[in-house]
Amino acid sequence: MKVKELVLNQYSGRVYKNRKDHIIEVEEGIDPVQPITANTRALPGIMTNRGCCYAGCKGVVLGPVKDVLTITHGPIGCGFYSWGTRRNKANVESGENFIQYCFSTDMQESDIVFGGEKKLRQAIDEAMSMFSPKGIFICSTCPVGLIGDDIHAVAAEAEEKYGITCVAFSCEGYKGVSQSGGHHIANNGLMRRVIGTGDKEINSKFKVNLLGEYNIGGDGWETERILKRIGYDVVSIFTGDGSFEDISNAHKADLNLVMCHRSINYIAEMMHTKYGTDWLKVNFIGIESTVQTLRDIAKFFDDPELYARTEEVIADELASIEEERAYYRTKLSGKTAALYVGGSRAHHYQSLLADFGVSTVLAGYEFAHRDDYEGRQVLDGLKEDADSKNIESITVEADPEKYRVFLTKERYEKLKNEIPLESYNGMIRDMKTGSYVVDDLNHFETEEFVRLLEPDIFFSGVKDKYVVQKAGVLSKQLHSYDYSGPYSGFNGSIIFARDLVMGLYTPAWNYVTPPWKNQSTLQAALAAGGEM
């Protein structure tokens, strides 16, 4: 019996029916690729690893913006997520950095009963008196949407009172089916109120934005270093180490480089429509994938000097890591890995693992849509459901003053066939025959697939990291890198390989025997009082 059926057959009929289409075994030569069910509600009682809409808006997209003060309007329990849960590093040369703070209105029972708008106004007043930020973001949590606080009206009052940009995001946790809904809401707010408002003069020749890069462990800095070596001007990063001013001037870039497709594709599409900015799907995770990405970007700009400089930098970077790359490949070649990560990381990291001879036996996303798995080709056939309609959607039109086209129509059509321009083919196409793709992998399935597939390494987040380690399998976080990194680019690949070798060759959890393996942990007594 196949591994998929061994896992599914342990479910009741109702759960089996729900989960069977979320799990596929990759087959050879199927085109279009095998369909998978995604972006649907997890069944009640299933221990999913997903986050909520608020987590996607505040925790992923808005949180890394360093010089905007973001207030969580809700109970302090929700506010905890706004502080210290992700390693979004920021470099402050001038101005403020609010990432290290946790700002919350700390709603109590009385605020739920009588309304929390007064408390939100007070929080804004305190923030302005203490910090004088350039801008304020307000993120609402579940109770706010249920009681009807008008955070948008409060934001408008603050703008008039203080003369700053104050943007409210109705990202109540219950909206949508996962944190993906929060990404969409954050993208809409940034597009509507921030992007395009800047007037900075940028006269450099090759201007790019880096979208879907959150600078976990310094990834954004390493990527930016490589791009600057070649001669690119990175106008803004969305949103790792991002600033309000940089994001407001993002419309002046010639090309958007999209890393995390799911969290930022809405902005990429809207900027293409409103400002004419083309977008390119890239991957700076992995040695060969970074090389390919740099060549794709150079092909977009089609400049002889840029081509030459790109190859010069690639050769220099590869030479600097050649010895360590060969060493770590001897230590990692033949190992197997399973990945369950958000965004596009479960796809990106397969390239990096392959660079060192590690094959992927299972991969899945927490909050993906079908196009993240099967490619954007399926978008036209997707039907909008009730959960999708619950997420705010905005329509943009070409800006009569700021819209500009970098490529001619003929050049655009030619490049579409050569590089991933306004395109993403999804994860499944790059996975080997016989490997497994699992959407919304839950705790039970995690333990079963680890037991049956026996991967040497499991990549995921903090929610299931320790369960896997107690099963004797090395588990690495790809949400915070276990306080290591960066993992992007050429140097990052070596740091990644080093961390894996340290973990694999120090298998501490294999020496731990859980107490329930060799002694009873149950105690009971007879009704009459006698001890069993």
Distance in angstroms (rounded) separating the CA atoms of residues 109 and 267 = 37
171 counts as catalytic: no
Mean pLDDT of 462-489: 90
Q: What is the DSSP string of 108-125?
A: -HHHHHH-SHHHHHHHHH
User: What domains does the chain contain, in order, with CATH numbers?
Assistant: 53-173 (3.40.50.1980)
Q: Which listed residue (19, 87, 183, 345) is catalytic?
A: 183
Question: Is residue 81 predicted with pLDDT exceeding 70?
Answer: no
Q: Which of 41-45, 262-266, 480-484, 506-510 has the lowest mean pLDDT?
A: 506-510
Q: To which residue do tokens 């039970």 refer? A: 444
Active site residue 78: no
pLDDT for position 532: 47
Q: Is 152 a catalytic residue?
A: no
User: Which of 428, 473, 467 is closest to 455 using CA atoms?
Assistant: 473
Q: Which long-range contacts (CB under 8 A, 24 or more apart) does 19-24 make?
A: 19/43, 19/445, 22/438, 22/439, 22/440, 23/436, 23/437, 23/438, 23/439, 23/445, 24/428, 24/436, 24/437
Average pLDDT over residues 153-161: 98
User: What's the CA gap between 64 and 151, in Å, rounded?
Assistant: 21
Bin 45: left if φ > 0, else alpha if -120 < ψ < 50, else beta.
left
What is the bridge-based pairing of β-strands 23-25 and 436-438? Answer: antiparallel
Q: Which whole number is the average pLDDT over 325-347?
A: 95
Helix (H) or strand (E) holding 415: helix 409-416
pLDDT of residue 419: 98
**pLDDT confidence of 524, banded at 50, 70, 90?**
low
Is there a contact between 254 and 406 (Cβ–Cβ < 8 Å)?
yes
CA 412 to each of CA 96, 256, 300, 387: distance values in angstroms, whole numbers, following the listed order: 40, 15, 9, 35
Q: Which residues contact 265 (CB under 8 A, 6 or more apart)?
A: 258, 424
- pLDDT given at position 30: 87
- The residue annotated as part of the active site, out of 53, 55, 168, 346, is 55
Cβ atoms of 179 and 60 closer than 8 Å: yes
| Three-point CA angle 379, 385, 391, nearest 5° | 90
Question: What pLDDT shows up at residue 343?
Answer: 79
Rounded distance between C-alpha atoms, residue 336 and residue 11, angstroms: 27
Residue 528 has pLDDT above 70, yes or no: no
CB 426, CB 33: distance < 8 Å:
yes
Q: How far is CA 476 from the centre of its chain?
A: 16
Structural contact between residues 462 and 257, judged by C-beta atoms closer than 8 angstroms: no
Among 507, 518, 427, CA closest to 468: 507
pLDDT at 328: 98
What CA–CA distance (Å, rounded) separates 334 from 240?
Answer: 34
* Block residue for tokens 């959150």: 214
Concatenated DSSP letters of 75-92: -HHHHGGGSSSS-B----
Of the residues 19, 73, 86, 348, only one is catalytic, namely 86
Tell me what pLDDT residue 45 has. 86
Note the pTM of the prediction, 2 decimals: 0.94
Find the mean pLDDT for residues 101-122. Answer: 95
Query: Which whole number is the average pLDDT over 391-418?
Result: 95
Q: What is the pLDDT of residues 225-250, one digit of tens each?
A: 999 999 999 999 999 999 999 999 99
- Which of 37-51, 84-98, 127-141, 276-290 shows the lowest per-residue confidence on average (mean pLDDT)? 84-98
Task: Write the pLDDT tens digit of every residue in 353-382.
Answer: 999 999 999 999 999 999 999 999 999 988
Peptide bond into 32 cis (omega under 30): yes
**Ordered strands of the 233-239 beta sheet:** 233-239, 207-213, 255-258, 278-281
Through-space distance between the first and last CA atoms of the chain, rounded to whole angstroms: 42
Question: Omega before 420 cis (within 30°)?
Answer: no
pLDDT score for 413 = 96
- pLDDT, tens digit, for every residue of 163-202? 999 999 999 999 999 999 999 999 999 999 999 999 999 9
Q: Token pair of 210, please?
A: 């880096």
pLDDT confidence tier of residue 69, bands split at 50, 70 and 90 = very high
CA dihedral defined by 214, 217, 223, 224, rounded to 10 degrees? 80
Taken in order 285, 242, 419, 395, the sign of the CA dihedral is positive
Known catalytic residue at 183: yes
pLDDT digits 0-9 by tens, 192-213: 999 999 999 999 999 999 999 9
C-alpha to C-alpha distances, 421 to 211, 393, 488, nearest whole angstrom: 14, 24, 21
414-451 per-position pLDDT tens digit: 999 999 999 999 999 999 999 999 999 999 999 999 99
Structure tokens at 456: 């040497």
Per annotation, catalytic residue among 52, 139, 186, 250: 52
Higher per-residue confidence, 461 vs 282: 282
470 phi, psi to nearest 5 deg: -70, -15
What is d(CA 361, CA 348) in angstroms, rounded to the nearest whole number?
15
- pLDDT value of residue 525: 66
Between residues 104 and 527, which one has the greater pLDDT?
104
